[in-house]
Amino acid sequence: MSLIPASRVNYFDRQFIRLAELRDEQAYHLQQRRRHNLSHHTWGIVAGLEVLEEDGRPVVRPGLAVDGYGRELLLLNRATCDREQFDRRGTRWLDLWLEYRLELVDDRLAPTECNATEANQPYRATERAEVVFTRGGARPDPRHPPGVPVTAFEEPLLTTPDDPVNRWPVYLGRIAMDISAEGAPTFAIDTADRVYVGLNAELIDHPGNASRIELGRRPANADVKRVGEDEYRYAPGSDRDFAVFVPSPAPSQLEPTLSVYDTATQIRGTTEVHGNLVLDGASLQFPDADGGETAPTDGTPAIYRSGDALRLDLGALENGDRTLVIGVNKDGMFMKALEVHFESATGGATPKAAVTVYGDLHVEGTIDSADIRTRTVTEEVAALLTGMVQSTLANGSN
């Protein structure tokens, strides 16, 4: 199918309809649909086509894909793979592809056949998909499938050939066969490199609310959107590459909840991470001081900056005791080095901190206390020291 401008048949009264009009009418819809598949989306698997093992044999389940020429590849029935496929090609690895086929068949409901002896004059041209097995060697590049001309990978590709001789296989996966000592084959399925369809867009809007995703849009001015009686205004961002907006109660201007710039990623609001937060070669920074004296939390533990102080807040004591433990891990066991414990306090009680050091305490400087004598020793130790001094004096020693 050559690359020509979209041309529709112009119908009028008492028009003489030729074969050309019927062909052009059909070609117009084929071109428009396939160009939509090519330009608004990227090619690949749309739905289904899973490669799974059922009853001891790999199968490809029904599904739909779109090849690089915009043609739909609809697989209606399961396609099975067994040992015969491997033996026929003399290999233990098979790559599975889905390819476009065009089958000319007669319509059984047609009263007569125009020319039963002419191979290219059946009543129907049926589009279908076929699973193709190829001998597995070096790992294939699914985005550059075999049999496709190099020029076809150049953007934009707007040609939509209908002839199956123009191949564009869609990769489904690889199957490895292993034959046990008993002679029964087992199969391993690898579908890691499958290509799925994508969407070509700079903006994705929810039709019923203010949710929005910007993909490299970089708006210089605020954008306004109306949904029913509501009006939403989105903050501009001439230097941002990605943004996610979510609805919020009647804001004057929606700011992105998540935005990505070339120098930073910004998140507005509370962020929950279910799992480990790893800083790879980076530091945790608190650049903006709020100057407040109260914890910006709901009583849960937090680290935050207040004025010139960086606070490690263990949370509200009304919820129970709080303990800060610092230590190391050795042979899978946690070893404490420092422990700060706060007992639960309610009402007007002032919480007391008990600090325990596991190991030697080295102080380079001074210890500041209102009463160093009573603050540094317990009553039992003080009594013991007093007894030792009195004993020494009784023996006449200095």
Regarding whether 78 and 188 lie in a shared domain, the answer is: yes
**What domain count does the chain have?**
3
Q: For tokens 């961002």, what's the residue?
A: 237
Give the pLDDT confidence score for residue 294 in this predicted structure: 63
Mean pLDDT over 158-169 rounds to 87
For residues 265 and 331, state if they share a domain.
Answer: no
pLDDT at 300: 82
CB 332 within 8 A of CB 319: no
190 within some domain: yes
Q: 142 and 25 in one domain?
A: yes
Domain edge (last residue) among 197, 221, 243: 197
Residue where a domain terminates, one of 197, 214, 242: 197
Residue that wins the pLDDT comparison between 396 and 185: 185
The reply to whether 183 and 49 lie within a common domain is: yes
Selection from 67, 64, 62, 63 nearest residue 41 by Cα? 67
According to DSSP, the residues that pair with 26 across neighbouring strands are none
User: 231 and 158 share a domain?
Assistant: no
Per the domain annotation, does 320 fall within a domain? yes
Position 381 in a domain: no
Q: Are residues 62 and 192 both part of a single domain?
A: yes
DSSP letter at 224 equals E
Is 301 within the bounds of a domain? no
Q: β-strands 230-234, 240-245: how paired?
A: unpaired
Nearest to 122 by CA among 106, 144, 102, 134: 106
Question: 36 with 126, same domain?
Answer: yes
Q: Is the pLDDT of residue 55 over 90?
A: no
Query: pLDDT confidence of 371, banded at 50, 70, 90?
Result: low
- What is the Cα–Cα distance from 75 to 50, expressed in whole angstroms? 11
Does residue 219 belong to any structural domain of this protein? yes
Query: Which residues form the domain of 215?
Result: 201-274
Residues 323 and 301: their CA atoms lie apart, in Å, by 11
Residue 168 lies inside a defined structural domain of this protein = yes
Residue 339 lies in a domain: yes
Q: Which residues of 203-230 are buried (b: 16+ CB within 10 A; e: fewer)?
A: eeeeeeebbbbbeebebeeebebeeeee
pLDDT digits (tens, 9 = 90+) for 210-230: 999 999 888 888 889 888 888
Q: Encode pLDDT of 277-291 as tens digits.
A: 998 888 888 876 555
* Secondary structure of residue 203 in the 3-state scheme: strand
pLDDT top residue among 156 and 317 = 317
Q: In angstroms, rounded to a whole number, what is the distance separating the alpha carbons of residues 170 and 60?
A: 13
Residues 92 and 127 in one domain: yes
What percentage of the chain exceeds 90 in pLDDT? 33
Q: Within this chain, do residues 113 and 245 fall inside the same structural domain, yes or no?
A: no
Q: Which of 154, 177, 197 is the last residue of a domain?
A: 197
Structure token pair of residue 242: 């990605």
63-66 sheet: strands from edge to edge:
44-48, 63-66, 72-75
Give 115-161 pLDDT, tens digit per residue.
Answer: 556 655 777 888 899 999 998 888 899 999 999 998 888 877 777 88
Both 92 and 175 in one domain: the answer is yes
Query: Do 209 and 239 have their domain in common?
Result: yes
211 in the same domain as 175: no
Q: Is residue 238 part of a domain?
A: yes
